[in-house]
Amino acid sequence: MPENAASFLETVMREERVFAPSPEFASRARIKSQEEYENLWNEAQQNPEAFWDKIAQTELHWFQPYSQVLQWNEPFAQWFVGGKTNASYNCLDRHLNTPWRNKAAILWEGEPGDQRTLTYQQLHREVCKFANALKGLGVKKGDVVSIYMPMTPELVIAMLACARIGAVHSVIFAGFSAEAIADRNNDASAKVQLTADAGWRRGKQLPLKETVDAALAKSPSVQKCVVLRRIGNQVNMQEGRDFWWHDLMQDASADCPAEPLDSEHPLYILYTSGSTGKPKGIRHTTAGYNLYVKKTFEWVFDYREEDIFWCTADCGWVTGHSYIVYGPLSAGATQVMYEGAPNWPAEDRFWEIVEKYKVNIFYTAPTAIRAFIKWGDRHVDKHDLSSLRLLGTVGEGINPEAWMWYHRKIGGERCPIVDTWWQTETGGIMMSPLPGAIAAKPGSCTKPLPGVIPAIVKEGGQPVEQGQGGMLCIAKPWPGMLRGIWGDDERYKQQYWSRVPGMYLTGDNARCDKDGYYWIMGRIDDVINVSGHRLSTIEVESALVSHPNVAEAAAVDRPDEVKGQALSVFVIVRDAEPSDELREELRQHVGKEIGAFAKPDEVWFTAALPKTRSGKIMRRLLKDIASGKEEVGDTTTLEDLNVLAKLRAHEE
C-alpha cells in the first residue's frame, strides 16, 4: 500500500462546467452577489455569536429574551440560553396579525386527486384543537408522541400540536414495519401513538392501523392511540386505548395558547436513514433549530412572498421536518404538499402538479431525478413547467449528468439548481449555492452557508492539502446542530466527537477545489480501494452515469485474492439491453473517464439497487453481495428485501 493509503482520497473527476445565475435572477435575489455572500460568511465566521444573536432577535418570537447566545461545553451546545419561545407559535401565531393570516399555508393534493387548502389561520385553528385533544389524552410537556401517518395535512397539524404544548414528536416514515415502529417507540419511551386507518401508495392501501396494532403489542410505554380516518377501511379499535381523530376534534376547544418553552426544550427525535448501519435517534431542540431552518430556507430557496414552494420529501425524514414544516411555515411560505407516489396514476404526476399549482421552487432527491430520467422525457414534455424559477436537490450526491438533465429538462436552462448538502444531525442545510450569488458546478454543493465552518482532515485531524479528499468535519457549533442521540450521550460522543479532536465529524468525505467549492465524495466507510488508489464512490458512479445507457450506478470494492481489492459496479441500464458487449463498453468507458486502474473488475446489471426507505443507495449491502457474504448487515431500513435476493441469484 502506498504511504497515502489511510490519509487522503484522490480525485479523478474532471468536471469543469460552471453555471452562473442570470442577471435577472441575481438582481431580484435576497443575496445578490458572491461579494455579498462572502461578506455575510466572513461576518459570521469572525463572530458567530454576534451574527446569530442579531438574527435571532428579529426572526423568532421570544416570550422571554435569552441571556446568553451560546454555551459551548464540547460536545454539548446550548443556544439562546434562558430564552423562551415556541416553534408552533413561530410557524403560526406570528402570522396571524399580518395579512398572511389569509395566505395559503398548505395546498394539499391527495394521491387519488382530492385537494385541500389550509390558510395560516385555518391551520392555526386545527393545531390548537388537536393540541387540546392531546392534552385531553394526558400528554404533558416532555412526553414523547410517536407519529406514523400518511402525508396528509393532519401529519403537519400533529407535529405542530406537539410543539405547541412542549410534547416531543418522533415521526416514523409510514412505510416502516411494525418491528421498526416498536424499536423506535421503545427507544424513545413514546407515550401516545398517532396513525391513520390506511394511506395511499401507488393506488394501493397501506394498512397503517394494522401495522400499528402489531407495533403496539410490543410497545409497552404507549398508552393511547389516535387514528385519523383517511380511507375509511375497516380497522380494529381497542376500547380505552384507541380514539378517532375526528371524535377528539369535535369536542376540542380551539383555544390553546402556545406554551413558552426553554430554548433548549426538546422539539423532536428523528431516526437517521440507516444507510450506514443502525439508525440513530437524533435529538433536536427548539430555538436554535427553528432559527436555523427558517433562515436557511430563506437564503437557499430565495423565498419570496408570492412564491409557491414544493418539497417532495416525506415528513418522515428530516427534509420534511425542516423544509415542509418548520422552515417554510416560520417564513410564512405557501407550499404544495403531496400525499403519494411520483408514478401514480402515471409517471408524469409530479409535472402535472407543478403545472396545476404553478410551482415556483421545486426541491427533490437525486433518486427521484434518476427515476425520471429512466422513465423517459415524454412524461416531462407533456407539461408546462414555465412557472419554475428555482430547483433543488437533497439526500445524496447528484451525478453531473443527472444534474445536466435536471437543468435542461426541468429547469428549461433558466433555473438555478441548489444542491444542498446536510444531514439529519445538522438540522438544516449546511452547504449549498445561494442561487443568486454562487455559480453552480454540476455535482458540487459549492459553498458553506454563513455560520458554517467546514474542515477537511486526514485521520488524526491534520488538514489535507488543497484539492485532496478527506473527512468532512464542521469546526464550530451552529444553532441547528443535533444536541445528542436520544438517551445515549456516550454514543453521541463516540460517533461524532471522538475520531477528530475538537470538531464535529460528519461521516462523509469531501474535497475542496481551487475555487473553494466543496465536493462530497461519499461516506467515510464506503471509500473504494483499488490498485493502491483510494477513490470516492460518487466519482466512479458519475463516470458510469455519464454513459448514455446508464441510468443509475453504485460502486464498491471487495477483497480479491490476486489484486488485494477489486472494483465491482452495479448498473441499471436505460435505452439498451444488458449484454456482454455493453459490459465491456462500460469498463472501457470508466477506463477512459478515470484511468485504466479504475476499470471495474465486475459489472453487475440489475433492475434495482438496494435503497433505504428514504431512497438512498445502501452500498454496504452491495459490498457484502460483491464479497459473496451470505449474511449481510442491518437491513431494517431497506426498502425492498427482494432486491438483495435477486442480486444474489444474479437475476437481472
Residues at the contact surface with Mg ion, assessed by CB under 5 A: 272
Asked if 88 is part of the footprint of ligand ATP (rule: CB under 6 A), the reply reads no
Position among 508, 526, 541, 557 found at the interface with ligand ATP (CB under 6 A): 508
Report 601-620 residues binding ligand ATP (CB under 6 A).
614, 616
290 binds, among ligand ATP, Mg ion, none (CB under 5 to 8 A by kind): none
Phi-psi category of residue 286: left, alpha or beta, with phi > 0 → left and psi -120 to 50 → alpha = alpha
The window from 42-50, 180-188, 391-399, 456-464 that contacts ligand ATP (CB under 6 A) reads 391-399
Asked if 445 is part of the footprint of ligand ATP (rule: CB under 6 A), the reply reads yes
Q: What angle do CA 438, 457, 291 make, to 5 degrees?
A: 50
Asked if 443 is part of the footprint of ligand ATP (rule: CB under 6 A), the reply reads no
Least distance (Å) from Mg ion to the CB of residue 445? 15
Residue placing its CB nearer to ligand ATP in the complex, 123 or 482: 482
335 binds, among Mg ion, ligand ATP, none (CB under 5 to 8 A by kind): none
Asked if 314 is part of the footprint of ligand ATP (rule: CB under 6 A), the reply reads no
HSE, CB side, 13 Å, CA atoms: give it for residue 327.
Answer: 27
Residue placing its CB nearer to ligand ATP in the complex, 420 or 606: 420
The DSSP bridge partners found for residue 85 are 261
C-alpha cell read off for 431: 452547504
Least distance (Å) from ligand ATP to the CB of residue 112? 29
Residue placing its CB nearer to Mg ion in the complex, 280 or 511: 280
Residue placing its CB nearer to Mg ion in the complex, 298 or 508: 508
Residue placing its CB nearer to ligand ATP in the complex, 520 or 528: 520
Taken in order 584, 587, 592, 597, the sign of the CA dihedral is: negative
Residue with cell 425492498: 640
d(CA 54, CA 69) in angstroms, rounded, equals 10
Asked if 424 is part of the footprint of ligand ATP (rule: CB under 6 A), the reply reads yes
d(CA 66, CA 79) in angstroms, rounded, equals 9
Asked if 435 is part of the footprint of ligand ATP (rule: CB under 6 A), the reply reads no
Position among 400, 507, 600, 610 found at the interface with ligand ATP (CB under 6 A): 507
d(CA 443, CA 510) in angstroms, rounded, equals 12
Position among 327, 340, 395, 433 found at the interface with ligand ATP (CB under 6 A): 395
279 binds, among Mg ion, ligand ATP, none (CB under 5 to 8 A by kind): ligand ATP
HSE, CB side, 13 Å, CA atoms: give it for residue 487.
Answer: 13
C-alpha cell read off for 636: 431494517
Asked if 322 is part of the footprint of ligand ATP (rule: CB under 6 A), the reply reads no
Answer whether 134's CB lies under 8 Å from 161's CB: yes
Least distance (Å) from Mg ion to the CB of residue 313? 16
The window from 61-69, 451-459, 501-509, 570-578 that contacts ligand ATP (CB under 6 A) reads 501-509
Least distance (Å) from ligand ATP to the CB of residue 280? 6
Q: 456-465 contacts: CB < 8 A, separation 24 or more?
A: 456/510, 456/511, 456/512, 457/500, 457/503, 458/6, 458/7, 458/8, 459/6, 459/7, 459/499, 460/500, 461/500, 461/501, 461/502, 461/503, 464/7, 464/8, 464/511, 465/8
Say how many residues touch ligand ATP, by CB under 6 A.
24
Position among 219, 334, 420, 446 found at the interface with ligand ATP (CB under 6 A): 420
Instruction: Give the strand pairing for 390-394 and 334-338.
Output: unpaired
Q: Which of 429, 444, 435 is nearest to 302 (CA)?
A: 435
Least distance (Å) from ligand ATP to the CB of residue 160? 22
HSE, CB side, 13 Å, CA atoms: give it for residue 191.
Answer: 14
Least distance (Å) from ligand ATP to the CB of residue 276? 3
d(CA 49, CA 71) in angstroms, rounded, equals 10
211 binds, among Mg ion, ligand ATP, none (CB under 5 to 8 A by kind): none
Residue placing its CB nearer to ligand ATP in the complex, 26 or 417: 417
Position among 34, 45, 186, 423 found at the interface with ligand ATP (CB under 6 A): 423
C-alpha cell read off for 400: 453531473
Residue placing its CB nearer to Mg ion in the complex, 489 or 525: 525
Asked if 321 is part of the footprint of ligand ATP (rule: CB under 6 A), the reply reads no
Residue with cell 443568486: 436
SS (H, E, C) 272-319: CCCCCCCCCEEEEECHHHHHHHHHHHHHHCCCCCCCEEEECCCCCCHH
Residue placing its CB nearer to ligand ATP in the complex, 85 or 420: 420
Residue 265-284 contact track with ligand ATP, rule CB under 6 A, x = bound: -------xxxxx--x-----
- Measure CA 526 to chain center: 20
Applying CB under 6 A, the residues found at the interface with ligand ATP are 272-276, 279, 318, 394-397, 419-421, 423-424, 445, 506-508, 520, 523, 614, 616
